[in-house]
């Protein structure tokens, strides 16, 4: 039986209501949110249990990413492999009106011991918007901070003062390996790519109370301390490897065991994706279209397009200047 050809796939966003969230994500993604609650996250490519992404465009509309992988993962992933039967990456936008908790994520080995899954959570952020007067990023410890120092700061409710912090600027990329204690400060909008994992250990939550429950949110101090890497000092924004070629600026942001992340800036047609490989293209500024096999797919801010390995390379045709992120999978 002949299988229908795959094509560049877009997915319906999955909105997550969070007490620290804002109001920007439904507008960014041009989708209504049925609840009046603040939206902290929009999962735009997800294979997390109970929250699978569903195709929004073309003949496969309504099909879940999990179903596509189950049918034949090589058509989607190419030589890359599913992790625990899942798509290896989770992509999301985050709108932090208030600070997120000071938190940490386990690595693969720690996740396997505690949660019976081999997926820890290494992640990277790209800042889209920030307020120079009020926004901060907290990433890694200040030089010389020990486990005892941090535990004392938790007890004294001064944990953020032990963390390295800086004022984020749009375009900053922050790479956070599992074990890095971190927090997103107030009034920050960013894109995140991470391993497919939803394991978070809250260490400190700014002493706030959840208005819905009338109680503080649960903390996970023992688990968090057990996987926090106290040898890791300040985590600064990435210094990208930059290449200017054929009128396009290409920036290598992250290359790790779990994903790659690149940024393209250009106003002339240029190629994205790789033949025989799975890539995800994210438009963070400007407008244009992706051309694949004679078909055209409009893109603008917030557009996320998964290019299955079967689709491979496409051409981006900008209308004016466009900025794209491209996420890749390890092999």
* Boundaries of every domain in the chain: 14-227, 241-328
CA distance 242 to 245: 10
Each residue's pLDDT, cut to its tens digit, for the chain (331 residues) gives 567 899 999 999 999 999 999 999 999 999 987 778 899 999 999 999 999 999 999 999 999 999 999 999 999 999 999 999 999 999 999 999 999 999 999 999 999 998 877 799 999 999 999 999 999 999 999 999 999 999 999 999 999 999 999 999 999 999 999 999 999 999 999 999 999 999 999 999 999 998 889 999 999 999 999 999 999 899 999 999 999 999 999 999 999 999 999 999 999 999 999 999 999 999 999 999 999 999 999 999 999 999 999 999 999 999 999 999 999 998 7
Position 2 scores a pLDDT of 62
CATH class of 241-328: mainly beta
Residues 289 and 273: beta-carbon distance below 8 Å: no
- For the CA atoms of 164, 154, 131, 194, the dihedral, rounded to the nearest 10 degrees, stands at 70
Same fold, 14-227 and 241-328: yes
CA distance 212 to 176: 31
Q: What share of the chain is helix, strand, coil (3-state, %, to 5)?
A: 15, 40, 45
Position 82 scores a pLDDT of 96
* 301, HSE (Cβ side, Cα atoms, 13 Å): 13
CATH assignment, 14-227: 2.60.120.10
Say how far residue 55 (Cα) sits from the centre of its chain: 19
Burial 119-140 (b: 16+ CB within 10 A, else e): bbbbbbbbbbebeeeebbbbbb
How many beta carbons lie within 10 A of that of residue 49, not counting itself?
A: 12
Position 264 scores a pLDDT of 98
Answer whether 0.85 is exceeded by the pTM. yes
Position 3 scores a pLDDT of 76
| Counts for the chain of helices (H) and strands (E), in that order | 5, 21
């Amino acid at each position: 039986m002949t299988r229908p050809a795959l094509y560049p796939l877009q997915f319906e966003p999955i909105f997550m209501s969070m007490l620290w969230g804002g109001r920007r994500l439904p507008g960014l993604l041009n989708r209504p949110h049925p609840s009046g609650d603040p939206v902290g996250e929009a999962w735009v490519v997800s294979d997390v249990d109970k929250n699978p992404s569903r195709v929004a465009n073309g003949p496969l509309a309504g099909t879940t990413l999990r179903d596509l992988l189950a049918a034949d993962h090589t058509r989607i992933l190419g030589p890359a492999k599913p992790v625990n039967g899942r798509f290896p990456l989770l992509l999301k936008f985050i709108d932090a009106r208030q600070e997120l908790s000071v938190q940490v994520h386990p690595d693969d080995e720690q996740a396997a011991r505690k949660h019976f899954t081999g997926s820890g959570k290494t992640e990277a952020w790209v800042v889209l918007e920030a307020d120079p007067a009020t926004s901060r990023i907290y990433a890694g410890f200040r030089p010389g901070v020990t486990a005892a120092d941090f535990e004392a700061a938790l007890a004294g409710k001064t944990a953020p003062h032990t963390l390295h912090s800086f004022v984020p600027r749009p375009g900053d990329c922050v790479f956070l390996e599992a074990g890095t204690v971190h927090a997103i400060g107030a009034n920050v909008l960013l894109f995140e790519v991470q391993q497919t994992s939803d394991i978070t250990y809250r260490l400190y939550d700014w002493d706030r109370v959840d208005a819905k429950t009338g109680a503080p949110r649960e903390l996970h101090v023992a688990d968090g301390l057990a996987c926090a890497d106290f040898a890791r000092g300040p985590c600064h924004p990435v210094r990208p490897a930059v290449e200017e070629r054929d009128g396009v600026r290409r920036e290598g942001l992250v290359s790790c065991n779990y994903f790659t992340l690149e940024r393209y800036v250009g106003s002339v047609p240029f190629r994205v994706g790789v033949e025989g490989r799975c890539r995800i293209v994210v438009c963070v500024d400007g407008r244009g279209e992706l051309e694949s096999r004679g078909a055209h797919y409009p893109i603008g801010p917030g557009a996320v397009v998964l290019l299955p390995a079967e689709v491979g390379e496409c051409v981006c045709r900008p209308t004016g200047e466009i900025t794209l992120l491209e996420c890749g999978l390890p092999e």
